[in-house]
Amino acid sequence: MKAVNLIPEGERKGAGGAAGRTGGAAYVLLAALGLVVVMLVAYSVTSKSLDDKKSELASIEAKATSAEAQATALAPYKAFAATKEARLTTVKSIAASRFDWAHAMHELGRTLPSNITLIGLRGTVKNGVPVENGPTVPLRSALDVPALELEGCAPSQAAIPSMLTALRQIDGVRRVTLQQSVYKSQTESAAPTTATDVPPAPGAKPAGGITECSRNFQAVVFFDPKPAPAAPAAPAAAVDPAAAAAAPTTTAVSTGGAK
């Protein structure tokens, strides 16, 4: 008996027959669908990431706005602090540029030998300063710095160099200059006497006797120059009226502190 195949001839190749007839179009369709799914997933992830970034940007902008508002509210404090610092610097500069006469007088009294008598004293911070009374020593114009002009008497010429050496020990002294040292007779009697530039012979005593003040001198004590005062600092920038209105409490506190 002859076997008869009842399957149509076009379908005898099995399950792959349909694929063979379509030429692989089903696989292409599946691949396209897979690609679409991948693209949808990527779009979803990108969209979510973009939304997160937008939210983060909005949060940062809000924080920046808050920080700017806070800085504007604190601007009067900053201006007041700058004004205070500028005034403090100016006061320190002026104080540093002033000459300390009290200290100079203390140093003079500390170092001046006990056998030296001062007849006149004048202190000036620079040349050409008008001062009533006091000696005027020509060598004062040698340096335009604070100086003491001294006029006094010593028991002998030998006491003058030791006096000059002692004056150089004064704190802040730059130079000590002797203008002149001349002999002057001063008697104890009431009779008028005349001055002479010639000292008596050794062992001899002029009529009436000589006191311990027998040598007149003039000297100048020059001090180190003081720094010039700094120029006043520029005033702090004015506060924006809008910012001041936004923070009335802060402005009131700053204005009260400036008084």
Residue 249 has pLDDT above 70, yes or no: no
Residue 208 has pLDDT above 50, yes or no: no
157 or 194, higher pLDDT: 157
Pairing of strands 215-223, 173-183: antiparallel
Tell me how far apart the alpha carbons of residues 56 and 216 are, in angstroms, rounded to a whole number: 91
Which residue spans within the chain are E strands per DSSP?
A: 117-124, 147-154, 173-183, 215-223
Per-residue pLDDT band for 233 (boundaries 50, 70, 90) equals low
Q: What is the pLDDT of residues 75-97, one digit of tens each?
A: 888 888 888 888 887 777 666 66
Please identify which residue in the block is written with the tokens 């520029």: 234
Print the SS3 string covering 193-245: CCCCCCCCCCCCCCCCCCCCCCEEEEEEEEECCCCCCCCCCCCCCCCCHHHHH
What does DSSP assign to residue 114?
T
